[in-house]
């Protein structure tokens, strides 16, 4: 099935990805900016949107990659269908300045996390309501009295 | 009337002293389960693979992923933490090994 095809009346377009890439440390500031712009352009030309860009700056690598011990870290948050990710990954693989990249799909994990949080909050609210109803009426009355004073 | 035992009463089993049994058990199994389990390692709903400070709690000196029996987190959380550590490793945020 194609990714851009709607399924059951709802499009599959709404996906969120995190893309992080490491640019070689010897890359000049101008070239780095140019590269970032080119990547952003690749995404938008394929129908995606760059929701967030974060330049994490020059960092020491935890282990050497291609005999390099440092790198410029850039983090993107991209919304789209997955088509632009495919194209972007292809280009990043070809680009020599990018020494490492990773793409992580985050929308589903975030959704489950939100769901769990909502569940926990609801349970907590129910428990609080139950404990307020049973037994601790006196306490709350006392608190009210204190507040009135 | 008091001494009357049920028909299926096992004389042999009854004659074994309960104290000696527990002593034997203790000799055979010395206390191996010492308190290593760290309770209360809070794992958030969304484990962020970029949050190195959090992930470092699950990485002992050698750089390996801390086993669940020591960290004390749930199986589900362990899977998510392990996945996050592996992602961070591949981006050179965390070392694979440290000697």
Chain B, 18-77: which have a CB under 8 Å from a chain A CB?
44-46, 49-50
Q: What is the pLDDT of residue A148?
A: 56
Q: What is the pLDDT of residue A135?
A: 53
Give the range among A79-93, A105-119, B12-26, B32-46 with minimum mean pLDDT: B12-26
- Please check whether residue A107 touches B, CB under 8 A: no
- pTM equals 0.70
Average pLDDT of the residues in A90-106: 93
Q: Do A116 and B45 touch (CB under 8 A)?
A: yes
Give the range among A17-31, A38-52, B1-15 with minimum mean pLDDT: B1-15
β-pair partners for B85 = none
Shortest CA distance from A65: residue in chain B: B92
- Is the model more confident about B77 or about B17? B77
Tell me what the pLDDT averaged over chain B comes to: 75
Q: Show the tokens assigned to A60.
A: 């020491």
Q: What is the pLDDT of residues A58-97, one digit of tens each?
A: 999 999 999 999 999 999 999 998 888 999 999 999 999 9
Residue A113: list chain B partners with CB under 8 A. Answer: 44-46
Q: Where do the H-state alpha helices sit in chain B?
A: 11-15, 18-28, 52-55, 68-71, 75-90
β-pair partners for A16 = A79
The answer on pLDDT for B12 being more than 60 is no
Q: Do B90 and A75 touch (CB under 8 A)?
A: no
Shortest CA distance from A111: residue in chain B: B46
**ipTM above 0.90 for this complex:** no
Residue B93: list chain A partners with CB under 8 A. Answer: 62
β-pair partners for A115 = none
Average pLDDT of the residues in B58-71: 90
Distance from C-alpha of A130 to C-alpha of B32, rounded to nearest angstrom? 43
Q: What is the pLDDT of residue B85?
A: 94
**Confidence band (pLDDT; 50, 70, 90) for B2?**
low
The answer on pLDDT for A10 being more than 60 is no
């Amino acid at each position: 099935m194609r990714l851009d095809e709607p399924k059951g009346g709802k499009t599959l377009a709404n996906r969120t990805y995190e893309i992080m890439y490491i640019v070689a440390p010897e890359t000049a500031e101008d070239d780095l900016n140019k590269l970032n712009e080119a990547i952003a352009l690749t995404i938008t030309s394929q129908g995606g949107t760059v929701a967030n860009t974060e330049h994490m700056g020059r960092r020491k690598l935890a282990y050497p990659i291609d005999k390099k011990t440092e790198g410029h870290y850039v983090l993107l948050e991209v919304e789209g269908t997955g088509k632009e990710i495919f194209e972007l990954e292809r280009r990043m693989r070809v680009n020599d300045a990018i020494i490492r990249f990773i793409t992580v799909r985050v929308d589903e994990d975030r959704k489950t996390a939100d769901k769990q949080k909502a569940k926990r909050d609801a349970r907590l609210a129910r428990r609080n309501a139950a404990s307020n109803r049973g037994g601790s009426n006196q306490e709350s009355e006392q608190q009210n009295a204190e507040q009135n004073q | 009337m008091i001494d009357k035992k049920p028909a299926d009463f096992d004389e042999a089993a009854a004659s074994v002293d309960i104290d000696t049994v527990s002593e034997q058990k203790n000799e055979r199994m010395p206390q191996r389960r010492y308190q290593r389990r760290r309770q209360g390692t809070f794992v958030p709903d969304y484990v962020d693979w970029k949050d190195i400070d959090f992930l470092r709690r699950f990485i002992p000196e050698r750089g390996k992923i801390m086993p669940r029996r020591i960290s004390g987190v749930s199986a589900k959380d362990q899977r998510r933490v392990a996945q996050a550590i592996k992602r961070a490793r591949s981006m050179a945020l965390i070392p694979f090994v440290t000697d």
